[in-house]
Structure 1
Amino acid sequence: MSIEQISPAQARQRQQAGAILIDVREAHERAAGHAEHSLGIAKDALEADPDANLPDRGAEIVLICQSGARSLRAAQRLLEAGYARVASVDGGTARWIAEGLLMVVSEQSEADRDFYDRYSRHLRLPEVGEAGQRKLQAARVAMVGAGGLGSPAAFYLAAAGVGTLMLADDDVVDRSNLQRQILHTEDRIGVAKVESARIALNALNPRVQVETFAERITSDNVERLIADADVVFDGADNFPVRYLLNDACVKLGKPLVYGAIHRFEGQVSVFDAGRHRGACPCYRCLFPQPPPPEAAPNCAEAGVLGVLPGVVGLIQATEVVKLILGLGESLAGRLLHFDALGMRMRETRLRPDPDCPVCATGRAFPGYIDYQAFCAAQ
């Protein structure tokens, strides 16, 4: 049996005669405006338990959405559930407005208007929706490094609505940074990188809180930076900080999103051994010993393709968002290699080391070490 599709004017007439007009859009969509006297019941909620919302199966029901597609599908579900008098508004609220029928706009604070407008494309994703966006809004991400990897990642995490970004970097902006560190600009040369980053991120999304730490990360302050973080982002450019971050994240049970770049190649992984002992590896499982300095020169020594940190940093940012939302499959237990010259990606499976000095199951945290000396000794 086909669903009756009616015009907005006909829907209005039936509503005035006693029909129940239901807007099946999501709450954030209805907040921007809904048909006068309509009930708001999201499509998924209506279909999941129609009896809870519409106990009278003999009542006349008219469904409306934005364009008519969702309401038509919902009407079909109601018909299959035993509701005999169901219709859908052809053209939805878009046509309702075009025909001059009255819409009611819910009272909203400026913050709510900004939220629903700014994140409308996220809100349309069922996997994110308002609940997921609120998770992002409440999240805290600690980011070590406001340079090549931190720049693109911080931009996209701020744009995505991560509520608080804690940026740690003790460097200042140099002209040589501008080839790849897109948070910074010519007129901020000589400014602390974390302050330059704060200016850029607040210009993009003033609702994101940017906490700055113009400090070199050490064993004395690392826990102060990451203790309240939901996810830790590794944008460091040296091995001592990478080992320190790994150990602190294992101790405190924080997921660590790792990235590294060298000339034309990059790597990304997620180290989550702190929360999943024996199931996920840590950075030390991958690199029990740091390579000698001559085998891993930094960007200043070896050079780097300017766009490479953008690619790697955005993959890291994607992993951060997924971890906050609990979506998909993270890179925990996998190392992703990116070759820019060949435009290829390959994946290496990683296993936890049962004898790892930091993350082995049942092993107590051994304490922080002198990471500079540890890396220099290799």
Structure 2
Amino acid sequence: MSTVPEITPAQARERLTHGALLIDVRDAHERATGMAEGALGIARGDLQRAPATHLPVLDREVVLICQSGRRSLDLATTLAGLGYTRIASVHGGTAAWRADGLPLVQPLQSDAERDFNERYSRHLLLPQVGVDGQRRLLASRVLVLGAGGLGAPASFYLAAAGVGHLRIADDDVVERSNLHRQILHTDASVGTPKVLSARERLLALNPHLDVDAVQLRVTSATVDALLDGVDVVLDGSDNFPLRYLLNDACVRHGIPLVYGAVERFTGQVSVFDAGRQRGVAPCYRCLFPEPPPPGSAPNCAEAGVLGVLPGMVGLLQATEVLKLLLGIGDSLVGRLLSFDALAMRFRETRLPPDPDCPLCAPGRAFPGYIDYAAFCSSV
């Protein structure tokens, strides 16, 4: 049990007026929301690494404060073990200080720093993200192919998460029948290009992003330019020719592809990364060597879809994109996640790479793009 005294915020303020040193040991992004008046901000890690630099006098009266009191007590106990004789921790931390109505101050910071710390505050608290991870997201580039049922919710959350460069490609315009599932668009957007509607909404959500709205039909002649400089591709397409083309291009350029598809009440998600992991990770052709016969897999316009279903699948895709960009967790590489909304049930299927895949088998040269429309109609 710790022998370090825990004191109330009022007692800490009283000690401060009599010469004690009050130190806020939270990280800078946490202090941005307000810190106890009179406190000096020194992050816990900095103080722990070089205590003598910040506290050269062992018998100086020092009071530590964090958000809830836990980190400050742990650090105070460590410092007491190093010989600091007059050290205490604020019970309840800054949260208790605020609840008691004691004065708070905002640390000096630029507008950009303030926006960063406030906007991404919940990300910054996650050890798996933190400041470095958030800056990595801001420097990342993602291609979202399609601003429809899957691309709309996925790009909304990628923008909110701070993915700094979003390239959205779609040649369609907003129709009223889109609005029950394509949440980027509004009734006022009907008749306007989807990519322009998407760009307006995304920048309204997060004005610091670079949103590249590309209004074109993706073909073999345009796909390479679309993938230029991209870290991850999110497939929000709704037809087989485009899925095969996008898969082939991602394998060619060594870019991970986050796949999603929906129909009626079911959806599926996976990650194809054969371009970077030959013989280890599958590509889309390993799952579907040949497209289904025409008419056997109708799109949403023909079969219908429950409005929330693309949102659920799109959010799963966005989650996979963020994990890939941050290098955290276990991605869906080699796994197909299927979802049945009516049964509210998920099922996972293992997807091994096809050693004879005509596209991604180890040592196989890229065969070139084909006539994908003809390929998908010839089965």
- TM-score scaled by structure 2? 0.91
| d(CA) in 2 for partners of 1:299, 1:123 | 38
1:363 is aligned to 2:360: no
1:149 is aligned to 2:150: yes
The superposition leaves residues 279-312 of structure 1 with CA deviations (integer Å, 9 ceiling, x where unpaired) of 1111111111111122211111111111110111
Q: Counterpart amino acid of 1:75?
A: A
**C-alpha displacement of 1:111:** 2.1
| d(CA) in 2 for partners of 1:84, 1:277 | 60
Aligned equivalent of 1:111: 112
Measured at CA, do residues 58 and 168 of structure 1 come closer, stay the same or move farther in structure 2, by a change above 3 Å?
A: same
Aligned equivalent of 1:266: 267
Question: What are the residue-to-residue correspondences of 1:1-378 with 2, within 5 Å?
Answer: 1-8=2-9, 11=12, 21-35=22-36, 38-47=39-48, 60-80=61-81, 83-94=84-95, 105-378=106-379
SS class of match (1:295) = coil
Q: Counterpart amino acid of 1:88?
A: S
SS class of match (1:301) = helix
**C-alpha displacement of 1:109:** 2.3
**C-alpha displacement of 1:108:** 2.2
| d(CA) in 2 for partners of 1:270, 1:314 | 14
Deviates more, 1:343-352 or 1:94-103: 94-103
| d(CA) in 1 for partners of 2:284, 2:159 | 26
The superposition leaves residues 232-289 of structure 1 with CA deviations (integer Å, 9 ceiling, x where unpaired) of 0000001111111111111111111000011111000001111212211111111111
Q: Counterpart amino acid of 1:210?
A: V
The superposition leaves residues 107-158 of structure 1 with CA deviations (integer Å, 9 ceiling, x where unpaired) of 3222222221111121222222222111111111100000000111111111
Measured at CA, do residues 147 and 63 of structure 1 come closer, stay the same or move farther in structure 2, by a change above 3 Å?
A: same
**C-alpha displacement of 1:344:** 0.3
| d(CA) in 2 for partners of 1:281, 1:254 | 13
8 Å CA contact 2:24–2:43 kept in 1: the answer is: yes
Deviates more, 1:134-143 or 1:74-83: 74-83
Deviates more, 1:104-113 or 1:192-201: 104-113
**C-alpha displacement of 1:83:** 4.5
Q: Counterpart amino acid of 1:240?
A: P
Measured at CA, do residues 50 and 108 of structure 1 come closer, stay the same or move farther in structure 2, by a change above 3 Å?
A: closer
**C-alpha displacement of 1:40:** 3.4
| Aligned CA-pair RMSD | 2.4
Q: Counterpart amino acid of 1:92?
A: G
| d(CA) in 1 for partners of 2:46, 2:281 | 37
The superposition leaves residues 354-375 of structure 1 with CA deviations (integer Å, 9 ceiling, x where unpaired) of 1212211222222111111111
Q: Counterpart amino acid of 1:264?
A: F
Instruction: State the identity %.
Output: 66
| d(CA) in 2 for partners of 1:55, 1:300 | 71
The superposition leaves residues 217-242 of structure 1 with CA deviations (integer Å, 9 ceiling, x where unpaired) of 11111121122111100000011111
Measured at CA, do residues 53 and 337 of structure 1 come closer, stay the same or move farther in structure 2, by a change above 3 Å?
A: farther
SS class of match (1:179) = coil
SS class of match (1:72) = helix
Deviates more, 1:345-354 or 1:175-184: 175-184
SS class of match (1:258) = strand
8 Å CA contact 2:32–2:118 kept in 1: the answer is: no
Q: Counterpart amino acid of 1:325?
A: L
Q: Which runs of 5+ in 1 are unaligned?
A: none
| d(CA) in 1 for partners of 2:287, 2:99 | 61
**C-alpha displacement of 1:3:** 1.3
| d(CA) in 2 for partners of 1:333, 1:327 | 16
**C-alpha displacement of 1:69:** 2.6
**C-alpha displacement of 1:176:** 1.2
SS class of match (2:252) = helix
**Number of residue pairs aligned between Structure 1 and Structure 2:** 378
SS class of match (1:152) = helix
- TM-score scaled by structure 1? 0.91
Deviates more, 1:121-130 or 1:342-351: 121-130
SS class of match (1:336) = strand
| d(CA) in 1 for partners of 2:51, 2:366 | 53
The superposition leaves residues 24-79 of structure 1 with CA deviations (integer Å, 9 ceiling, x where unpaired) of 10111224444567553333454466567657666654321133232112222334
Q: Counterpart amino acid of 1:176?
A: S
